[in-house]
Each structure stands twice: as C-alpha cells, then as structure tokens.
Amino acid sequence: MSISRRKFMESAAIVSLGANAATASGIPMRTLGKTGARVSLLAFGSGSRFLAYKEEDQALAALHHALDLGINYIDTAASYGDGLSEQRVGKVLKARGRKGLWLATKVEPRNGDEAMRIIERSLKNLQVDYVDLLHMHSLTTPEDLAAIEAKDGVLNRLYKLRDQKVARHIGITCHTDPTVLKTALERLDLDCTQMALNAARIGMAAEVKYDDPKMSFESLALPVAQRKNMGITAMKIFAQDKLTNKAATEKLIRYSMSLPVAAAVIGMPKVDFINQNVEVAKNFKPLPESEMKELSTELSQKYKAQIDRFFAAHRDC
C-alpha cells in the first residue's frame, strides 16, 4: 500500500487545525495515534546530541529549558551513553515531576531475559515505575525481526509489560531498512513506531538501488503505520547532520513535520538550537506539496545513496 503526497499533505493540514491546537506555550500538539496522548510537535531527542552536553548541570538545565518552553515528549534509550541519558532524564523528572510529560525509552537486546534486565535498569535510571512508551530499538534485518518475534524474544516480554502497565504502550524504531519495518508493522501488535523521515527520503540497506526514492520509509513503512493508526514519530531529520549544510534547517524540520507524524524527535546539543527549533514548531505551517516534492527530489538525487550507506551501519548510542 502507498500513500500519495497529496494525502500526506491533507493529513498534515488536518493535524494542524483546531483538534490539535497549540499549548499555552505556543507549540502545536498532535495526537499520538491510537494511544490518544497529546504530544508536542517537537520532541526532545536525548541521544548523542544530549550527551554532547559534557557537564551534567548544563545537560539538566537544557532539558529543563526545553520542557519550560512547552516540549512534553522526551525520547531516550537505554543504550544512549550506556544509561547516562536515562539517568539525566530521571533527575529532571524527579525535580519537576512527570505530569503532562510523555516519556519514551528503548530497549536493544532481542532476548527476553536480557531485555528485562535492561528494562529494569532503565526504570531505575529514570526513577519511575512505568514508562509511557517502550520501543524495541533499531530494527535492522529480517533475521533481527525473527529474533524479536522468537518465543524467548523481547516482543513477548513487551506484551506482558504492556498488560502490566509497566509500559503503557509499546513500539519499534528503525532507520536502516524500510522493507523490514513495513513487515514488522504489518505483523506485530504495536502501538507506536519511530522511523527515519527526512527530505532525502533515506532508507534502504538491502541489495537494491540506494538512490531509488520508492525504497524509503516515507513510501513503504509510513503508510502501514498510518493505516493502523499507530503513534508515529520522525527521527533523523538532519540525517545525523549530513543534511544540515545541504538545505535550510527550518525547511528540513518543516518537511518532516509536514508528514503525518505526531512529533519530530530532534537532538539539540545547544540551548540556542532548542530556542530555534521551538520557534520553528511554534510557527509551523505545512510545506506546500510542490516544495516538498522539489526539496525531496533534489536531496535524494544528490545524497540519498551516500546517506543510506551510512545508516546501514549507524548506531546512535
């Protein structure tokens, strides 16, 4: 199944209307699919860019600042800094409480027992007894999906944790191969997904033409998630900074936000970046369909192949 760009734009226009009105801070809110949660259009990415704050007081102050400005979606993972990101997030949550915030983390091991040990550590690091969303981190190959689905795999553990409300919702992330993610989304009982969605239309690590725009998360996996009313978030907006000098930052952000996603997860290693990106979100207007097509055509023709090769082996930790 595929979705036309016109339908993409119609969806983006709908979510920018009254049913998704801005918060008091001015950041638009969107509904995170079947979860029913209201999340800020801009999410705080707590991966390598958050770890770029080398002094802990600066990192905590940056996250506090982002939340003060109206961001309510915090995205972290157990592997980010081997737990350091979660520890920082946990300290901020302890200081201010989690009311009105959406907390998402990710677990990487595919074996169920190993995953549970990491999840228990995550809860301790975050200083919480439940998370709003627990993702299986970074789906890669068909063999990886098989390991997830195995009887002793992580998926069955996540189903139990969802039943127990330790993870209110569960999902999966992918920035490597959209064909594998498409299969996973079609097959698994998940609430949310996070995928690489940017103007270069990246996403094929298999043995096919890297520069084929049809082989992208936008064209393959996103329609499945939308059809199943999953909570969808975009990541790799700047393709790990490989697009930041190729197009205006604001336009790259607006491109991803113009897709039918609830939020764009962006790492912001400087307070100035937090301020700038919040302003983009507060003043967000969907890119016209013609501009989206022009931008994606230009960037994908020039850079998609090299970016796809990079992400075939990329791991953000």
- Find, among 214, 248, 261, the residue nearest to 20 by Cα: 261
Retrieve residue 42's tokens.
């801009």
Residues catalogued as catalytic: 80
> Cα separation of 297 and 218, whole Å?
13
- Find, among 162, 309, 226, 206, the residue nearest to 31 by Cα: 226
Q: Rounded to the nearest 10 degrees, what angle do helices 84-96 and 112-126 cross at?
A: 40
How many other β-carbons are positioned within 10 Å of the β-carbon of residue 61?
14
- Find, among 13, 11, 43, 12, the residue nearest to 27 by Cα: 43
